[in-house]
Structure 1
């Protein structure tokens, strides 16, 4: 029987288990959006994951949405990330980098006063962003011109090249959670006309162009999607239809895995995403959002998914796979330290002392 500890082949990688570490924005980068030794220590502690998907990382300068998130567009960032990849590999782990553009979730106070860009001039309502001047409301973004879009695609391509130069085993393209690629996908935020708006084909055009470009630069490529999720004030009129269409279309690309957030963080939109995606997508399917150990085991044993990505449990349990293997209790994370600077709530969660 396939279970959480059945090895999984992913491209050229042999994963020892199906307990993945989901990408977790933790805002610990150093000045210049450079990942340093603290981030390397954090990931090395969690090298027992079947695969680590490192946090959302800016593909180009001037697109900060979290103030202290890392980038992968400068040589200093490449060298900084090499600390993490080398530490994870020394510990026997495997790690890919999530490539990300925040789109309208960015803020001028984080980006030298520059207005954020998006498919359409629609602001994120009902939320705020952390800035050096405290929490601020989001601003109305500037719609991208069609002739600017090739520059976005090139940014992702170069970021993938830099990620491999930094020693990552591959990359995951962030097409989820209301950020730029997701903003183009969904009809609630993409109200443009022309080649990148209107039909499903047109709304998916940017994502597909990014994937085609990134695939030329990396030996392993994944994609994260969240068609149901309303985070960042985003919706689609037919999320299940969007997911079903896209799952079929992705078979035409050299995509090694599809990472699906199955639920809506806001609790509004409901539906079964995984069944139609599983029926249509022929590659490795990874699910995320709210799984406990028993449900994850059942999902893998039934063949509903090939792996499960855990987020918050990996924050407080750096040795999560071993705890699961031994049936040990799981520690609880402290949300007050999710985005605070320094090691507290980041690298100071203890491992259990297991008897052989």
Structure 2
């Protein structure tokens, strides 16, 4: 069975497509879900991916092109087909960049849909066969991971990244890619499969050290790494270094290293783990059983920053992630981080980030459109 979702803000269009006598046992394509706009579709796709997504281009909230980007990035559908008026084919160039499968012109004709379903079926079966072969290869290689890249080397990379040590981490990551490729005679498919396994082990290890990371980076983007599309080992190296570099840089930024005292990292970890709670120097001193004056003076002396300034910086970094996720309004972000005055939160955000929350959101949107 092939799962299908239809997305259009006009119910009459969705109904017209559903009435075409091509769904069900005859073709194997079954409509399992429909949505009235891109936002509704994205919410449903995150719960259940589909094989074929047929979507309008011009829709409120999230349009077809934005939906395509999200689907491509998070692998939520195998084939995306645009429903369009003839005048809307100007979207073609951007759509091709994000892997559009095909187009259907409204109103959808039975013959055109039938051709598309046959084409989609062939493509989906080919993709399933590739995935099956990759899974078998992965299973064989994973059993011999220790042979190709020793576990203690992977553990070293985990330790370097977890310590925010770019000087040690980045060369070690590059060496892992180079050594794995050499051990597999630079076979791109085998190297990609094994590196994805090593990458997964590293990611798991880092998150065990720093469980708070989820709140400051988009884990979904990091987890959904696909090296088999890289083509060559150098491209794989760039991809892995970039992904793990995000984690190393985030850790280095948020876990301040004291010149002498290990207490600094402990204070940072507590703030990071409780970023959405009400935190102050008083709550930290109670948890650590130390006086406010002692930890305040020590933190300032070791880092050059007051604990209050650090707490604000961490909360603003969390705010950036919440804004990027796009599910909360600005006042909801403020409230979630313990700021009852949304206007004060906005001023604090601009002071620390350089942009207002709305400007930051718009900048993210413009960046996504420019990719």
Q: TM-score scaled to structure 2, two decimals?
A: 0.23
Bigger relative contact order, structure 1 or 2 (CA pairs below 8 A, ≥6 apart): 1
Structure whose residues are more often strand by fraction: 1
Structure whose residues are more often helix by fraction: 2
Q: TM-score scaled to structure 1, two decimals?
A: 0.24
- Structure 1 or 2, whichever has the larger Rg, is 2
